Structure 1
């Protein structure tokens, strides 16, 4: 049978590797399993979105359009304008905004749209550790992924000066994750502008994955975004920039599969043309729910408060046994652990029935090593009482000798 040979270049997904790591282990039956491995929000969905979806079920009787309803694009543009302090007319709902069925599929599809595999050795740059969709997108677009190691030494932030200039010349697409997954580190606006200037100098597109931007401490400064950085740097048309936002994390709606892409009008139009063939139109009830969610901030504030309480409780319990601090954004703890990260994750599951994700599964080996080795990712998405129980079990595990 003939198949796309690039499929053989895909590596196992981190959760496949985690399942194999745990295979054959029987944890204590008296302990309820607490999964902290998957970043799936588990707070209640906002009622404003649920009610809007229920009230729009008659929309199932018609085909949606790929560009989305005008009301949805207007709601998205209005939210982004408020959130990132844009001039009122800067973000045109008709030219700069495109709804997508969750940013995961859009982040993947973008590479298929913008990578020119006929150019010599096309490269796609991405952080390391990284969201594995970036790598798979690059490979299936006919490009080679290249990695920017994120370590404690560089504050878990991309260092463009550490990348070979020849590699920048071959780069066609740069994936950014800001705030970062898994570290929660945040690039400031000046750093975003430096990368944007490099994109113009070396002729590549920036895909700014900003899906964790609304999960941040209530008393802190909200993370900046690439749209605002581009405008304030003089790029009035968001040239070479596409940002990706989602309702999954912001609004606890991962099952709705709703997000948006916004930025450079030429790129948005090309992506729209690609998606028209790809068949990615959002269902009308989902659009109605999305409009309601983007227009409402009250549930976002409540969501942030829930994460604030969980971080305070977990960090207090783990104080003295792990070197941890609250990340600038996101709902992960990127925790350094004693010994090998895979051994730690396997033994924690075996002894305490708690699942965390080995950091080495989120990273690739580079000349500098695997930057995720020696760390685990813990997603504080479970209810407060489960996060507290997991932290208490982890403290017991560490004090007994991990």
Structure 2
């Protein structure tokens, strides 16, 4: 598996710091492998192997270690006889009841450095999270970016060209395991099964949902409409008109569940002139295009949506906070923030002469000195007036 350097670069500065490192992301996005790569870093620092204590709570090996008490006892026993700091690496920690209590107690009772993974965005919310308040950093992990996908295909011996890689990525996304599957049918079957696992294990069982028709239809509708303004009222009305019983409140609950399981990611809307976040009409994007493509119902071509989604994911994976900009009656696709950095992005499939004025004109109305980009599938460089135009493949492969 490729070395996930961008994530390791974020984690390594916090090794041996008195902060719990929490890696969160959708199921099967590569958190377990990343945890293994963290272990490799520790071993290269000459940490004794016996001082590194690992557990994956999806494994039956740890079926008797699913409460705060049994987890604490397990780590305490493994730590016996260790000299110096111990390193605790725990995978899918949400499977352990009241895990926060055990982790906080381990942090207090042992000289230790703790790394956790979880597949739930609310892992550190709620009353129990107060045990760890101010004592952790959280890093979100995404499926492979296009650059990571290219590296994996080169290592697998399946890379032929950037263009073929990009077309494949638009169709099948970046879940790491799918790059080891032999054909299109295997990949589609894998993505279907992954979807079922997320729907059943991370949503239906967790939230005790028995009627699943509305749940699945709401998700399919949202994935058909990535990048469109969201209205729970409109969605519930459409479901009812199709004979599916639901309400606006139920739709809102379902959206929260999709976000919690990381199937959907949101971008809030920001009024650039008013300098305020808008409370309505946020947009949603799929965490992976392959998963999105096996769930959505519509067969119509939607290259503009796919391009917008892939740029959104790229910026999030690079560590940016991403918002949608409102500028009077026009829109800036993305405003991206990372620390003191800020930049604007417009995304298009292909830029016709009519599109050029809209895509560049919106950015030209922004009278500040932050970088501005137009990203499209065009090969010709259309940069103008300080606004940088980039081909989407070049943009994705050259962070």
Q: Would you call these one fold, judging by a TM-score over 0.5?
A: no
TM tier, smaller: under 0.3
Larger relative contact order, structure 1 or 2 (CA cutoff 8 Å, min sep 6) = 1
**Which one has a larger percent strand, Structure 1 or Structure 2?**
2
TM-score scaled by structure 1?
Answer: 0.28
TM-score scaled by structure 2?
Answer: 0.28
Rg larger for:
2
